Amino acid sequence: MSTSSDTTRRPAPRAASASESAHGTRLTLRDATLGRPDAPVVTGVGLDIAPGEILTVVGSSGCGKSTLLRTLAGLLPLLAGEITQDGRPLTGPGADRALVFQEDALLPWRTLRANVELPLAVKGLPRAERRAQAGTWLDRVGLADRAGHLPHRVSGGQRQRAQLARALAGAPRAVLMDEPFGALDAQTRAGMQDLLVEVLRGTGATVVFVTHDVDEALFLGDRVALLGGGRLTAVRDVPRPRDRSAHDNPARLALRRDVLSSLGT
Q: Dihedral, CA atoms, 199, 14, 61, 165, nearest 10 degrees?
A: -20
- Candidates 95, 132, 254, 260: give the one binding another protein (CB under 8 A): 95
Burial class from Cβ neighbours inside 10 Å (0-12, 13-18, 19+) for residue 248 reads exposed
Regarding 165 and contact with another protein (CB under 8 A), the answer is no
Considering only residues 1, 80, 107, 132, which one is a binding residue for another protein as defined by CB under 8 A? 107
Q: Which is nearer to another protein, 22 or 122 (CB)?
A: 122
> Does residue 132 interact with another protein by CB under 8 A?
no
Q: Is 244 in contact with 220 (CB distance < 8 Å)?
A: no
Considering only 45, 98, 112, 162, the residue that binds another protein (CB under 8 A) is 98
126 binds another protein (CB under 8 A): no
Nearer to another protein, 103 or 243 (CB): 103
**Which of 43, 188 has the CB closer to another protein?**
188
SS3 254: helix
What whole-number distance in Å separates Cα of residue 113 and Cα of residue 35? 35
Our finding on whether 231 is near another protein (CB under 8 A) is no
Residue type, 140: R
Does position 101 bind another protein by CB under 8 A? yes
Q: What's 62-86 look like in SS3?
A: CCCHHHHHHHHHCCCCCCEEEEEEC
| DSSP 8-state class, residue 251 | H
**Residue window 173-212: x/- pattern of binding to another protein, with contact defined by CB under 8 A:** ---x------------------------------------
Closest CA relative to residue 78, chosen from 139, 37, 108, 121 = 37
CB of 7 to another protein, least distance (A): 33
Kindly report the backbone phi and psi dihedral angles of residue 34, in degrees, each rounded to the nearest multiple of 5, phi listed first. -115, 150
Which residue ranges make up the site for another protein (CB under 8 A)? 70, 73-75, 93-99, 101, 104-105, 107-110, 118-119, 121-123, 145-146, 148-150, 152-153, 166, 170, 176
